């Protein structure tokens, strides 16, 4: 009886999805119109092969997933016990380039995991600690104290920010994704500097006592980016390159840009789902833009959501913070334990959005034009997929990607090649 109910539920889901996508002009992934090609750097392309389909049935399932959701392209990496077994691109990176493992994509809130690693590196160097206050006479960002009107700000610690427990709320709109309104409120003719944004935000009241509750906060991770700068004495991006990505063996992470003209070498093009409506740009420059190009102030996100990178290199970074070999860890076991410690189902990990008691870790990310999912499983496998297209389900689409991973793991995990592409 239960099996029959599951079949009916699955059929109902597919019928609902078919109804919602009925009449949409889904992209034809077999061809595309003329468009400028990806601006490759010579040393960025071609390190991983995408020509041979070694698991054609799995690749077919992923191609079908892309077509069903109207996605132009996606990149997948599969790791087992720190060995990269599979890395493949699906669909299109832009109108003239097939997706390839080396293509770089926006990582959205996966960037928060990277920022958390930066904080843990600083803690190991004795420059900042989880219990360090962010503001106040002993706070690392004490230069903002003169703007604070709510004394509860002085209770915020670095750990509160990492766990989204700083007291910030986006119920009136997420300030990191409402730049146009912020500019209007403060009479600005251009997007605010990070310093100006922080000064105005710390002058507001907190929504709750720090540590008493959690509410997802992009602004909190912007503050963590500034904590990294202050504690390290380096610009945020420079510190991350030198102290996180370099030691992990990752060469091609960068902070991304806002418009199509800002696309970096080796970076994909981004697309909206078929029903997406254009809107005004975040900086009041244009009355109508694709939301993935000008709808959000991507370059202002920093450690909250600004990074781009290739999926295999992202897999390499995860291997360097998982507490296992053969990829050398860039964090001590104690730091990795702190990042992944399970408290309860309602408490975020440090950088991870979910850490199960059995050792399953999850990091998600999405905004206009991209969706990203990292799943580390207790059996030693890690699956990562990043897309270059918004799905009409928005951030909830990551649940569908997680369901895809579960299905593919059950069918194909035993068929994955025995090798390590990190070493080849």
pLDDT digits (tens, 9 = 90+) for 154-165: 999 999 999 999
329 has a pLDDT exceeding 80: yes
pLDDT digits (tens, 9 = 90+) for 9-61: 443 433 334 333 333 333 343 333 334 444 434 333 345 656 567 899 999 99
pLDDT digits (tens, 9 = 90+) for 82-120: 999 999 999 999 999 999 999 999 999 999 999 999 999
pTM of the model: 0.89
Q: Which residue has the tokens 């793991």?
A: 409
**Residues 333, 110 contacting (CB under 8 angstroms):** no
pLDDT of residue 52: 61
Q: Give the C-alpha separation, 128 to 122, whole Å.
A: 6
Q: Which two tokens stand for residue 322?
A: 């998982």
pLDDT of residue 49: 59
Q: Which residue has the tokens 């001590």?
A: 332
Per-residue DSSP letter, 158: H
Q: Which two tokens stand for residue 163?
A: 């766990």
Q: Which two tokens stand for residue 224?
A: 């963590």
Q: Give the C-alpha separation, 317 to 331, whole Å.
A: 11
Mean predicted confidence (pLDDT) in 229-252: 97
Q: 46: closest CA among 38, 58, 54, 57?
A: 38
Average pLDDT of every residue of the chain: 90
pLDDT bucket at 361, cuts 50 / 70 / 90 = very high
pLDDT bucket at 385, cuts 50 / 70 / 90 = very high
Listing DSSP states for 244-292 in one string gives IIHHHT----EE--SSGGGPPTTBPP-B--TTPPPB--TTSS-SSB-II
Say how many CA atoms lie within 13 Å of 41 toward its Cβ: 12
Pairing of strands 370-376, 361-367: antiparallel
Q: Which residue has the tokens 């980016």?
A: 225
């Amino acid at each position: 009886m239960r099996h029959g109910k599951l079949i009916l539920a699955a059929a109902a889901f597919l019928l609902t999805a078919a109804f919602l996508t009925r009449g949409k002009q889904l992209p034809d992934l077999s061809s595309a119109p003329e468009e400028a090609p990806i601006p490759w750097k010579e040393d960025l392309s071609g390190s991983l092969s995408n020509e041979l389909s070694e698991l054609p049935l799995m690749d077919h399932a992923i191609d079908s997933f892309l077509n069903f959701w109207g996605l132009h392209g996606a990149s997948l990496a599969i790791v087992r016990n720190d060995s990269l077994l599979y890395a493949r691109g699906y669909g299109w990176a832009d109108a003239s380039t097939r997706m390839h493992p080396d293509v770089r994509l926006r990582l959205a809130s996966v960037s928060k995991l990277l920022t958390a690693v930066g904080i843990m590196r600083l803690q190991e160097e004795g420059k900042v600690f989880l219990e360090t206050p962010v503001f106040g006479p002993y706070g690392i960002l004490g230069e903002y104290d003169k703007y604070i009107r709510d004394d509860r700000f002085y209770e915020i610690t670095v750990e509160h920010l990492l766990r989204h427990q700083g007291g910030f709320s986006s119920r009136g709109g997420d300030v990191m994704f409402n730049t146009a309104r912020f500019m209007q409120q403060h009479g600005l003719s251009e997007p605010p500097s990070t310093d100006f944004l922080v000064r105005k935000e710390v002058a507001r009241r907190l929504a709750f006592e720090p540590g008493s509750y959690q509410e997802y906060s992009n602004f909190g991770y912007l503050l963590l980016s500034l904590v990294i700068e202050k504690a390290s004495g380096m610009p945020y991006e420079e510190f991350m390159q030198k102290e996180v990505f370099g030691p992990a063996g990752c060469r091609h992470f960068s902070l991304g840009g806002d418009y199509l003209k800002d696309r970096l070498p080796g970076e994909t093009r981004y697309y909206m789902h078929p029903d997406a409506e254009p809107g005004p740009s975040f900086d009041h420059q244009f009355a109508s833009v694709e939301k993935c190009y000008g709808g959000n102030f991507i370059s202002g996100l920093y450690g909250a959501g600004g990074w781009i990178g290739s999926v295999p290199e992202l897999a390499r970074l995860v291997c360097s913070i998982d507490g296992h070999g053969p990829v050398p860890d860039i964090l001590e076991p104690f730091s990795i334990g702190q990042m992944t410690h399970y408290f309860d189902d309602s408490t975020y990990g440090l950088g991870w959005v979910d850490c199960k008691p059995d050792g399953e870790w999850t990091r998600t990310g999405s905004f206009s034009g991209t969706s990203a999912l990292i799943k580390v499983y207790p059996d030693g496998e890690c699956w990562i997929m990043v897309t270059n297209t918004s799905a009409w389900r928005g951030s909830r689409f990551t649940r569908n990607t997680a369901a895809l991973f579960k299905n593919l793991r059950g069918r194909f995990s035993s068929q994955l090649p025995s090798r390590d592409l990190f070493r080849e």
